[in-house]
Amino acid sequence: MQLEPRRPSTKGPAHMFTGDVWFEVIAAPQPAPSRMRVNAVHFAPGARTAWHVHAVGQTLHVTEGYGLIQSRGGDVLTMRPGDTVYTPPGEWHWHGAAPDNLMTHLAMWEAPPDDGAEADWGELVTDEEYGARP
């Protein structure tokens, strides 16, 4: 057993996020065979990720606030506290807070078994894409 030290909160980098986003690493890379990753991610109203894709998929669990999520070519969906969303491997998507609400979610994913990239990041989500709610 190993007690992990508390890590400081980290500001989300501007090439990966629009608006104020902070994350806390809960489960970082561990020695093999573990490949689990977990972050608590805190989004200010209107803040969001860039388009991105995960090699082994991603699960999000909303703990507070209201958020939005969209897969490329799909509808923008609303996420509420208690909602869990799974995005399969290779599916381009973005997620973030609703325009008038904070949102926190747990982001859970695995590193690929071949030590390849865990995620590929694309362009920032435009205001038009973000506002395209049904």
What is the percent of the chain with per-residue pLDDT over 70, rounded to a whole number? 99
Using only C-alpha atoms, the chain has a radius of gyration, in whole angstroms, of: 15
Phi and psi for 36 in degrees, rounded to 5?
-75, 140
Residue 54 counted as domain residue: yes
Q: How many domains would you assign to the chain?
A: 1
What was the pLDDT predicted at 106? Answer: 98
The per-residue pLDDT for range 2-43, each reduced to its tens digit, is 888 888 999 999 999 999 999 999 988 777 778 899 999 999
Q: Which residue has the higher pLDDT, 27 or 70?
A: 70
37-62 in b/e form (b: 16+ CB < 10 A) is bebbbbbbbbbbbbbbbbbbebbbbb
Residue 102's domain is classified under what CATH number? 2.60.120.10
Residue 117 counted as domain residue: no
Residue 21 counted as domain residue: yes
- Residues spanned by the domain of 52: 10-111
Residue 116 counted as domain residue: no
What was the pLDDT predicted at 107? Answer: 98
Residue 105 counted as domain residue: yes
What was the pLDDT predicted at 102? Answer: 98
Residue 18 counted as domain residue: yes
Residue 126 counted as domain residue: no
Residue 120 counted as domain residue: no
**Alpha carbons 64 and 66: distance in angstroms, whole number:** 7
Split at pLDDT 50, 70, 90, the class of 121 is very high
